[in-house]
Structure 1
Amino acid sequence: MNITQEQLNSAVQEALKGALEGLPAMQTQGNNITLKEFGAGFMKDKKDEISNTAYAKSDSLYRNHILPAFGEMQLSAIMRQDIQDFVNELAAEGYSMETMKAIKGLLSSILKTAAGDRLIPFNPCEAVKLPRMVRKKKAAPTKEQYLKLRAVSSSHRLWIAIPLLFIAGLRPGEMCYLTWEDIDFKTRHIHVHGTYSADNGKGYGYVKDTTKTESGMRFIPMGKELYKMLKAYRAKEGKGKTYVITLSREDRRMNPNTLRDKIFNEWREKAGLPNSITPHSGRHYCASMLLRSGMNPETLRKITGHKDLSTLLDVYGYSETLSDEERAGMCNALDKISA
């Protein structure tokens, strides 16, 4: 079918006219609904779509950041510049890029849904840019700091937590999930296949028979020292129990938040270590030390359960200073390319 340029122009004009005529109606609907009113339904639907842990994090961002800033505003009144100012203010207050992305992403999902419901003509979040930030990487704990934690925790019934975090490189939730059936003394492997997740801020725990990522399902080999420590712990503290890290008077898993707040933080204080040292720091220590020892990154990725090498090397391969071996190796390399 052939059409003339005049017919094409006419068709385009009619399409634009129809689109423009539809805008006032959409804006009028958005004028009658606040973000708080629309967001209540959005968050209710979201709760049925994602895990309890993921929802708890989203709910915290929604209540603590999005509602205070935009809750009482009508949907149609929220402009791109309002959101840009909001994001810039978050950056000025020192929030991390990860947190800002999560907040912006949630707000964008709410407004995108509102646009899909024809309450607003478009999602104003789409044109908002996150400010550039230099990512501050945490240095891994030193061996001296690890040994201090070992020393102060040695008399506690859960002393094995430090080796499991720092030597096996387990995530806190993975460690709290472990049963003694997951510790294979015959093959000398730790089977990681689940996690104990805790809600953000509320403290509720959820046992999940899967790890953080698919690659998190793994077998971690036990070295001689870790094998000996687990054997000794099993004989005394783990005798007759199902779970490795338990509550004091019951054979039940311990919430990782309880372990951190009531036990690990006390050890850290006794050891005189900075607040930046957390249970997750053990994983950082393990990966960093193994990388420095010369372990192949791909092998290490399989042990730590990372989805990809980039995350492993970017986060856990970081060090502010060079070891003597690294410095010598760099000098040799420089000599070779300069000769």
Structure 2
Amino acid sequence: MAKRGQGEGSISKRSDGTWWARITVGKTPDGKQKRKAFYGKTRKEVQEKLTAALNDINNNTYIEPSKMTVEQWMYIWLRDYKKASVKPKTYAAYEAHVKNHIAPELGSYTLASLRNDMVQRFVNGLADKGLKSITIERIVGTLKTALMQAVDNDLIVKNPASRIKMPLKQERTPRVLTVHEQELFMEASKEHRNGEIFLLILGTGLRIGEALALTWDDIDFENHILCVNRTQIEYCDHIDGKTIYHREYSTPKTKSGQRTIPLIPSLVDMLLTLKEQREQEKQKFKEAYKDTGLIFCNYYGVSLNYTAIAKKIQSICKKTGLEGVHPHTLRHTFATRGLENGIDLKIMQELLGHSSIKMTADLYTHVLPETKKNSMMKIAGTINI
């Protein structure tokens, strides 16, 4: 028997235990009512689909499913299923995938007409453009997730992106500074305001966003411990043709990102000296100073952005003659030096905040063979043959 709530259309339980609903979405050219059906395993699921359709009808944004394009659906998916459920930076990445890749290539097709071979050509085209395999994976992941939601919403019967052949993964050997290059880079860093951020990353393996988010409360000077509790994120919104930039703080993506890192004595001394300098700046610019507690900031206590940091690295590289260096290079260098000097892989995983030891091992396969050899040599003297 149909159950009807006020303004919710009709909802009925089917003989197989599932639920379905019907709603009037307009009229046919001959004046007859046009009806749309929704199906689901539970009444709640059907009700949610029905409510979403009613909202679209009331706001004059309802699109007939058979006519809905991929582009229209992608932006509906972003608005209704991602905007409120993911972090702003993640949402901005999804939006960029849609705006820069998915909509231009697949957007004009209707959802109902999209086929596996069309998606495969799209993926092959991304590879032909020279995009990295990890970037292609993320773009396709965005498309696949959105289309799966379209299946759940009864807009399409199956997901045309579910069985795509992905390009071969490229071997990722991260750029790492040699010991000599590291010495050159460290010496040049000391000549720059906030150059200490590079020394700290080289000595802790922090991500650049984690370093930029550090406050003095995150440093336990007594026990020589640094606590990672948050990261600085930068993203942009596109509103009414305008691009609005944001800089905010967020918790790390995974639980393993929240961690403590022991500090070597030279880093503790460096941070103590820097803390004194910040106190002097606070007094000097007290009327204009924003006491954010940030370790790395401008003369007025305001946070730094990623672009400013990247420019500092470019300046250092120009002076030292180094190439291919970016903030993550310093993190990779820390990990490589640590593994070269016998730090256990599991400990390195925890220091870097990786979610799995496999991630650490995959990134540093170029270091591990020599590390294993050195470890084995430690027991050579205990085996007399």
Change (3 A) 1:328 1:252: closer
Q: How does 1:13-52 map to 2 (within 5 A)?
A: 30-45=65-80, 46-52=82-88
Partner secondary structure for residue 270 of structure 2 = helix
For the 8 Å contact 1:288–1:317, the answer to whether it is kept is no
For the 8 Å contact 2:340–2:367, the answer to whether it is kept is no
**Percent identity between the two aligned chains:** 26
Deviations 1:282-302 (A, max 9, x none): 111111111110112222222
How many residue pairs get aligned? The number is: 305
Residue 306 of structure 1 corresponds to: 354
Change (3 A) 1:169 1:327: closer
Q: Post-superposition shift, 1:317?
A: 4.7
Q: Post-superposition shift, 1:320?
A: 10
Deviations 1:222-243 (A, max 9, x none): 1122122222222224544621
Residue 207 of structure 1 corresponds to: 249
Q: How does 1:1-339 map to 2 (within 5 A)?
A: 30-45=65-80, 46-199=82-235, 203-208=245-250, 210-237=251-278, 239=280, 240=282, 242-247=293-298, 249-260=299-310, 262-275=311-324, 277-319=325-367, 326=373
Change (3 A) 1:290 1:328: closer
Q: Post-superposition shift, 1:183?
A: 1.6
Letter paired with 1:267 = I
Q: Post-superposition shift, 1:167?
A: 0.9
For the 8 Å contact 1:31–1:74, the answer to whether it is kept is yes
Q: Post-superposition shift, 1:170?
A: 0.9
Deviations 1:165-216 (A, max 9, x none): 11111111111111112122111111111111122797521111x2232112
Relative to the length of structure 1, the TM-score reads 0.81
For the 8 Å contact 1:178–1:244, the answer to whether it is kept is yes
* 178-187 or 30-39, which deviates more: 30-39
For the 8 Å contact 1:238–1:244, the answer to whether it is kept is no
Unpaired runs of 5+ residues, structure 1, are 1-14, 16-24
For the 8 Å contact 2:349–2:356, the answer to whether it is kept is yes
Letter paired with 1:127 = R
Letter paired with 2:247 = G
Instruction: Say what the alpha-carbon RMSD is for the aligned residues.
Output: 2.9
For the 8 Å contact 2:133–2:169, the answer to whether it is kept is yes
Letter paired with 1:220 = I
Unpaired runs of 5+ residues, structure 2, are 1-15, 17-35, 38-63, 238-243, 283-290
Q: Distance in 1 between matches of 2:343 and 2:236?
A: 35
Partner secondary structure for residue 230 of structure 1 = helix
For the 8 Å contact 1:140–1:319, the answer to whether it is kept is no
Structure with more relative contact order (C-alpha pairs < 8 Å, separation 6 or more): 1
Deviations 1:313-335 (A, max 9, x none): 21135349958x948968x99xx
Structure having the larger proportion of residues in strand: 2
Residue 22 of structure 1 corresponds to: none
